[in-house]
Structure 1
Amino acid sequence: MAQRKWKTGMIGMSLAVLLSACSGGGASPQPDASGETPKPAEKPPELIELKIHASGVAEQEFDTRFKEVLQKKFPHIKIVWLPTNGTANTIQEYVARGEIPDIIRNISSTVHTNYLNMGLAYDLREMVSKYKYDLSRFNPIFIDGFIKLSGQTGELYGLPVSPFFSRVLYYNKDVFDKFGQPYLKDGMTWDEVYEVARKLSRVEDGVIYRGFSGNVATYLTYNEYSLSTLDPAKDELSSFDTWKKIFDNYIRFYQIPNNPIAATLADEQNAFKNGTVAMHADIYSPYLDLSMVKNWDMVSIPIIEGAPKKVGIFPPGYLLITKQSKHKDEAFQVMMEMLSDDVQMKDARNGFLPTVANKDMMAALGQDNAVYKTKNRKAVGHYEFAPIRPAREKGKTAIDTGVADTHLRNAFFDAAQGKADANTVLRRTDELLKQEVEEEKSKTK
């Protein structure tokens, strides 16, 4: 009897196996030695191409900073770099040819002309919500300022990416040593620096030593007041009295005997490289080449008396996704990796200022940079960064900020060269700005 039951069981088992085979279904996954059922292998992600257009950034820099980490993180994504060649291959030309990139790197001053007004805009808030992306990790001035600049109802079109540039005061130690002047220190005022410039502006053995020079564009455009040239709410120069205070602060340096301002913006910007200028106000940048000055260092940029104790900055670039992209998720994932803490820490160690609010990165700034690792790197973060200059209010006619700033720089040179006083050149700038606004308005009539 027992033998019959055993045979019956065997027949039942054989029938079950046969039915399973006939139905095309394989045996169910069985538990492994640990008792867990293995998961079926995931399907590898589809191979895709992501096109990136980054005006002003060389492909070599992109490769050095991002390519390896992106290839490792996303082996299924092929990054296609859309080159720019001066004025050729602009974003307008790519769009006109139907070669719309997935990701665009833009700067705040051109986000309207080179993105929003071209019908490319895509609000990133959808992706931020989907991936639970923490925007609070960024320095808030970069997020808040960009939303105010480009959004209508709070849209977020881009995420901030380095490089951006702060301001410092460089000095030539050899000139200080030659004339027995103590070195500069962080936290000085412009009044203190002015007294040093007076002592070091002199003629020695037929050589003119200038006490001070500066990149005029930086200390006007990237001022500690975050003051725009064209008023955000009115069709006129923004805050005449404050601009007068800024002009007066710097013009006095060029009225010191033996310290005239150079003939052109470029000449004044490069004067320090001649080795006969004691101090030079300029941007902090890993791109700035001062190798021709043998023995230099830097301190925090001085602050104008009564001004906010902040340092004006050249804003970062922004990574934007085009609404035409068929790979928005992948594009956002790539952006998140480019802006990750690991990537930004590596950038910071190489001298790039981080866009995230991370004190450890600021402390590590320039540690791996062959030039800056031996310099006073604390000078760069001595003061907080000033907010980005406000954009024109909604409904107000906007003009190219580069045009407005050029009018202001020209006015400063005229005053610094003694062609007219500060009041006169600022009133003239006010009139030129009003003309620019009226001309822009006429284009829409």
Structure 2
Amino acid sequence: MKRLFTAVCLLGTVALTACGGGKEDGQPEKQAKQVKEAPEPFTMTIYAAGVKPEEFDSRFRKALESKFPHVTFKFRTSGKGSSIQELVAQGDIPDLIRTDIPSLKTSYIDLGLAYDLREQLNVHNYSTSRFNPVFVQEIVDVVKTGELYGLPVPPYFPQVLYYNKDLFDKFGQPYLKDGMRWDEVYELAKKLTRVDGDRIYRGFSAGTIALLRDNPYSQPILDPKTDRLANPDVWKTLFENLKRFYDIPNNTIAKTAVEEGAVFGQGRVAMQVNQYSIYVNLPPELNWDIVSAPAMDGAPKLMPQRGPAYWSITKQSKYKSEAFQAIMTMLSEEVQMQDSRGGIPTTLASKEIAANLGKDHPVYSKKNTGAVNYYAPIPPTAKREAGLADVPLGTQQNLVANTFQKVATGEMDINTALNDISEKLRKEVEKEKSK
């Protein structure tokens, strides 16, 4: 009878329950329940220089706290006494840091924070193919030894052509369209540069710092291999193309490169090539729109752009796996769709997300945001070869823009200007070598 009883009890869960209290070979029946322990709570610190806490909260906090209820996310940004250099000196090192290409070396690698994300890619079976490849390429190129120190976080800043619709109406010109060339823009600039009574209306302006740095050839300033200006012939073409606009009578460039980038918002400039950005504060009364950046003969039909920032993990973090999962959440399709609909261009390769750019933004929902994605982003500029002294990008871009300023005002001819840039770059490299 004992054998029969045992056999019946083994028929299934229902029978086993009905036999309650049964014993086999005198041993109590063990329950098969497994209780999943709740993860231990901890605090993860995220540092992003220049990002307001309100922006971090609106873009990322809800998604993070929903996904990781056991984690307290402490956000820090730059300010007095809280630069990343000061935090590192105090031993107060964050788990996650938002890096960018110009400061990757000085504010991440040289501070001893660098951590290769390839380990986490393998652990979490995460593919970088979901991103636009040019953004991943740039952070790999800047290191040159194979490490991946970050994943691209929006926004990036593509070049577009802004135009003042009221001035086009005033002077009887049809509105701009995507896919225009520089020569077409030049002819329009001549027509739209007018003197009306005591007012001068300029046909064209440019954010010269961004335009020259993020140029249609993706041409670097400092040569990747030698201590001089890279490819002066290409730079001559870029200078000549831009200078002709400032040779138009009454289309005089502003006193400084910074002022030139700001004149469009004053309402007396018909067109301006500059970066697309929801952080640009144009007056609400300005009746403007955008089209794709003009294409240049001989240059690739791609969109010049200033690349994104990157989410990076510090090697000192005790929570590297959790930090990578936080990055996965902040760069997810859901979060990037929210970003895109809010007017922030995506770093993902998703055409659907790109197509939703600005749909929920109070201003950009009424603009031609398709201009941003009319051309694919151009590959990043070539970086200095490993082992060579480099010059901070900020120094390079200001040198080029300020020298062009002298060309545009007639203080210096183009050949002299390019030679001057090359010599000053050489001196800057020597300074870096002596550090």
The yes-or-no answer on 1:206 pairing with 2:198 is yes
Choose which of 256, 272, 289 in structure 2 pairs with 1:264: 256
Tell me, yes or no, if the aligned pair for 2:158 and 2:305 is still in contact at 8 Å. Answer: yes
How big is the shift at 1:294?
2.6
The yes-or-no answer on 1:391 pairing with 2:383 is yes
Write out aligned runs for 1:45-84 (5 A): 45-84=39-78
Tell me, yes or no, if the aligned pair for 1:275 and 1:293 is still in contact at 8 Å. Answer: no
Tell me, yes or no, if the aligned pair for 2:151 and 2:311 is still in contact at 8 Å. Answer: yes
Tell me, yes or no, if the aligned pair for 1:111 and 1:150 is still in contact at 8 Å. Answer: no
Choose which of 128, 143, 146 in structure 1 pairs with 2:139: 146
Deviation readout 1:235-290 (Å, 9 max, x if unpaired): 11011000010011011111101110000122211111111111111111111122
How big is the shift at 1:82?
2.0
Write out aligned runs for 1:321-360 (5 A): 321-360=313-352
Measure, in 2, the Cα distance between the counterparts of 1:202 and 1:160: 44
Match of 1:28 in 2: 30
The yes-or-no answer on 1:43 pairing with 2:37 is yes
Choose which of 162, 176, 185 in structure 1 pairs with 2:177: 185
Match of 2:16 in 1: none
> Which structure 1 residue ranges, 5 or more long, are not aligned?
7-12, 30-36
Match of 2:115 in 1: 122
Choose which of 71, 93, 103 in structure 2 pairs with 1:100: 93
- Structure 1 pair 77–253 and aligned structure 2 pair: CA distance change class (3 A): same
Q: Which amino acid aligns with 1:28?
A: K
Q: Which amino acid aligns with 2:40?
A: E
How big is the shift at 1:19?
6.8
How big is the shift at 1:183?
0.9
Tell me, yes or no, if the aligned pair for 1:273 and 1:293 is still in contact at 8 Å. Answer: no
Match of 1:402 in 2: 394
Measure, in 2, the Cα distance between the counterparts of 1:240 and 1:321: 39
- Structure 1 pair 15–110 and aligned structure 2 pair: CA distance change class (3 A): closer
Match of 1:318 in 2: 310
How big is the shift at 1:18?
13
How big is the shift at 1:349?
0.6
Tell me, yes or no, if the aligned pair for 1:240 and 1:426 is still in contact at 8 Å. Answer: yes
Measure, in 2, the Cα distance between the counterparts of 1:410 and 1:217: 8
Write out aligned runs for 1:407-426 (5 A): 407-426=399-418
Tell me, yes or no, if the aligned pair for 2:291 and 2:371 is still in contact at 8 Å. Answer: yes
How big is the shift at 1:151?
4.2
Deviation readout 1:159-196 (Å, 9 max, x if unpaired): 10011110100111110111111111111111000010
**TM-score, normalised via structure 1 length:** 0.91
Deviation readout 1:27-48 (Å, 9 max, x if unpaired): 533xxxxxxx6x4221001101
Give 3-state SS (helix, strand or coil) of 2:300's partner: coil
Tell me, yes or no, if the aligned pair for 1:147 and 1:156 is still in contact at 8 Å. Answer: yes
> Which structure 2 residue ranges, 5 or more long, are not aligned?
6-19
Identity %: 47
Q: How many residues align?
A: 419
Measure, in 2, the Cα distance between the counterparts of 1:76 and 1:252: 60
Tell me, yes or no, if the aligned pair for 1:210 and 1:258 is still in contact at 8 Å. Answer: yes
Measure, in 1, the Cα distance between the counterparts of 2:159 and 2:265: 17
Measure, in 2, the Cα distance between the counterparts of 1:88 and 1:238: 38
Choose which of 289, 308, 314 in structure 2 pairs with 1:297: 289
Match of 2:15 in 1: none
Give 3-state SS (helix, strand or coil) of 1:368's partner: coil
Measure, in 2, the Cα distance between the counterparts of 1:329 and 1:54: 19
Tell me, yes or no, if the aligned pair for 2:144 and 2:386 is still in contact at 8 Å. Answer: no
Match of 1:33 in 2: none
Match of 1:34 in 2: none
The yes-or-no answer on 1:370 pairing with 2:362 is yes
Measure, in 2, the Cα distance between the counterparts of 1:209 and 1:108: 38
Tell me, yes or no, if the aligned pair for 2:217 and 2:299 is still in contact at 8 Å. Answer: yes
Give structure 1 regions of 4+ aligned residues with deviation exceeding 3 angstroms.
Answer: 13-20
Q: Which amino acid aligns with 2:30?
A: S
Deviation readout 1:282-309 (Å, 9 max, x if unpaired): 1111111223443111111101211111
Measure, in 2, the Cα distance between the counterparts of 1:276 and 1:247: 24
- Structure 1 pair 14–363 and aligned structure 2 pair: CA distance change class (3 A): closer
Match of 2:424 in 1: 432
The yes-or-no answer on 1:244 pairing with 2:204 is no
Measure, in 1, the Cα distance between the counterparts of 2:194 and 2:384: 45
Tell me, yes or no, if the aligned pair for 2:407 and 2:417 is still in contact at 8 Å. Answer: yes
Measure, in 2, the Cα distance between the counterparts of 1:243 and 1:411: 12
**TM-score, normalised via structure 2 length:** 0.93
Which structure is larger by alpha-carbon Rg, 1 or 2? Answer: 1
Match of 2:82 in 1: 89
Coordinate RMSD, CA, aligned: 1.9
How big is the shift at 1:209?
0.5
Give 3-state SS (helix, strand or coil) of 2:210's partner: helix
How big is the shift at 1:57?
1.1
Give 3-state SS (helix, strand or coil) of 2:183's partner: helix
